[in-house]
Structure 1
Amino acid sequence: MSRLIVWRHGNTDWNANHRVQGQTDVPLNALGRQQAVDAAELLIKMKPDAIVSSDLHRASDTAAALAALSGLSISYDKRLRERYFGAWQGLTMPEVAELYPDQHTRWTSGQEVGGDVESLADLGKRVSEALHAAAGLAPPGGTVVVTTHGAAARQGIGHLLEWPLEQLRTLRALQNCHWVELTHSRERGWQVAAYNVGPFTDRPVPPPV
C-alpha cells in the first residue's frame, strides 16, 4: 500500500493577519519556520521516499525542513500552488465583503466565486494531477510528502477522491503545518487514513487562503 502525505505550509504574517494570500509569494514567519521543523521531526518517522512542493516560498521552505532531515532533494510543481484569488489577494475577508459583496456571498455559501478568482473545478483538477504525478515518484508501497496550501490541499484531495463539493465542505480547514494522510491500493483505490495531523498548536486556525 502506497502513502501520500499532503502537507500544508507553516504560518505566515498574512495567515496571522487573516489576509488572503492566494498565489502571492508570502514567506514563512518565525512561527512558521518552527512549525516546519516540528512537523518534519514527525514526518521523518514515516520514512519518505520523495518530497514534492509548490514553488511558492512558504511551501518550499516548509518542505526544506523535511529535506534537511531526510537528505532527499525537493521536486517543485507549480500545479501545487494555492488557488488564485485575483483582486482578493492581500485583502482581509471584511475588506473582500465590502469591496466585492456579491463574490463574498457566493464564497460563504460554497459556490463558485466568479470574477478573476480561480474556479474550484480548475483548482481541484490541477492539484489532483500534481498529486497523481507525485505519487508516481515513490516505489510501490512507498511514501511521498507533498507540500502545498490550504485550499489547494482540500480541493485537490476532493478531486482525487471524486468527492462531491457538499461532502468536501464538511472537512475543517487544515491547520498550518498539518497534513492529510492518503493511502492507495489496487483493491480500494485512494482512501483517507488521517486528517489534520501535525505538531501541537494552540493558535486559532487561519483561513486556508
Structure 2
Amino acid sequence: MTRLIVWRHGNTDWNAERRVQGQTDVPLNDLGQQQAVDAAELLARLGPAAIVSSDLRRAADTASALAALTGLAVHSDPRLRERYFGPWQGLTMAEVAQTRPAEHARWTAGEPVIGEDIETLDDLGKRVADGLQAAAEKVPHGATVVVATHGAAARQGIGHLLGWPAEQLRTLRALQNCHWVELTHDPERGWQIGAYNVGPFTQRPVPPPV
C-alpha cells in the first residue's frame, strides 16, 4: 500500500510568539532548522520516493533538510499552503481575541466560516486534500511520499481525505512542529490513518497552529 507522510514544518519566531502566520512567508528560526534536521534523519529511514512541499519557506526549508539526506528533489505545490487568515495574519492570538472577539469565538468553537475573508474550513480541506492526493500519485503503489505542509492545513486536508466529519476531526490535537501523520492507501480500504503526531522529540502541548 502507498504511504503518505504529512509533515508539519519546523518552528518559527511567529510560532513562538503565538502570532497568526497563515500564508505570510515566515522563515524557520534556529530551533526550527534543527527540528527539521532531527526529523529528517528519521524520515529518511522510511525510504521516501518523493518529497512534496508547500511553497511557503517554512515548509520548503523543512523539506530541504530531508532532500539533503535522500538526494531527492523537492516538488512545490501551493495547494499545500496554510489556511489564509486574512486580516488576522501578523496579529497575536491575544490581539485577535481583543480586537475581533466575535470572530475569535467562532474560530475557538471550530465553526467552518469565520468571516473577514478568512478561508473556510471546507475550502481549506478540499484544497489541501487535492494536493495530498496529487503527491500520493507521484509515487508507484507501495512507495512512500513525504509532504511538508502546515498545522491547520494538515489537519483539514487529512480529514477531507478520510471523510471525517468536523466533530471527529476536532478530536485530533494540533500537530507539533516537525511532527507528522502517517496515512496509507490501498484500493480496498482507501485512506487510513496509521500514526499521528510522530516526531523525534517530545514538546509541551501547543495551541492550535495558525
TM (norm. structure 1) is 0.98
Aligned length: 209
Uncovered stretches (5+) of structure 1, i.e. residues with no partner: none
The CA deviation at 1:114 is: 1.5
Is 1:90 paired with 2:90? Answer: yes
- Correspondence for 2:157: 156
Uncovered stretches (5+) of structure 2, i.e. residues with no partner: none
CA distance in 1, matches of 2:205, 2:170: 19
- Correspondence for 2:198: 197
CA distance in 2, matches of 1:4, 1:88: 31
Partner letter of residue 31 of structure 1? L
Judging changes above 3 Å, is the alpha-carbon distance between structure 1 residues 204 and 166 closer, same or farther for their aligned structure 2 residues? closer
Overall identity of the aligned pairs, in %:
75
Is 1:63 paired with 2:63? Answer: yes
- Correspondence for 1:78: 78
- Secondary structure at the aligned position of 1:131 is classed as helix
- Correspondence for 2:175: 174
- The answer to whether the 8 Å contact 1:15/1:207 transfers is no
- Secondary structure at the aligned position of 1:105 is classed as helix
- Correspondence for 1:123: 124
The CA deviation at 1:207 is: 3.3
Which range moved further: 108-117 or 18-27? Answer: 108-117
Partner letter of residue 167 of structure 1? Q
- Secondary structure at the aligned position of 1:118 is classed as coil
The CA deviation at 1:206 is: 4.8
- Correspondence for 2:145: 144
The CA deviation at 1:204 is: 4.4
Judging changes above 3 Å, is the alpha-carbon distance between structure 1 residues 181 and 161 closer, same or farther for their aligned structure 2 residues? same
CA distance in 1, matches of 2:155, 2:116: 21
- 1:11-30 to structure 2, matched below 5 A, reads 11-30=11-30
CA distance in 2, matches of 1:207, 1:190: 24
User: Residue by residue, what CA displacement relative to the aligned partner does 1:167-207 show, whole Å, maximum 9, x if unpaired?
Assistant: 00000000000000000011111000000001103344253
- Correspondence for 1:36: 36
User: Residue by residue, what CA displacement relative to the aligned partner does 1:88-112 show, whole Å, maximum 9, x if unpaired?
Assistant: 0011111001111110111111112
- Secondary structure at the aligned position of 1:182 is classed as strand
- The answer to whether the 8 Å contact 2:176/2:203 transfers is no
User: Residue by residue, what CA displacement relative to the aligned partner does 1:135-192 show, whole Å, maximum 9, x if unpaired?
Assistant: 0011110000000000000000000111000000000000000000000011111000
- The answer to whether the 8 Å contact 1:81/1:149 transfers is yes
CA distance in 2, matches of 1:89, 1:10: 18
CA distance in 2, matches of 1:145, 1:62: 11
- The answer to whether the 8 Å contact 1:16/1:206 transfers is no
- Secondary structure at the aligned position of 1:153 is classed as helix
CA distance in 1, matches of 2:66, 2:97: 38
- Correspondence for 1:105: 105
- The answer to whether the 8 Å contact 1:176/1:205 transfers is no
- Secondary structure at the aligned position of 1:94 is classed as helix
User: Residue by residue, what CA displacement relative to the aligned partner does 1:77-130 show, whole Å, maximum 9, x if unpaired?
Assistant: 000000000000011111001111110111111112112110000000000000
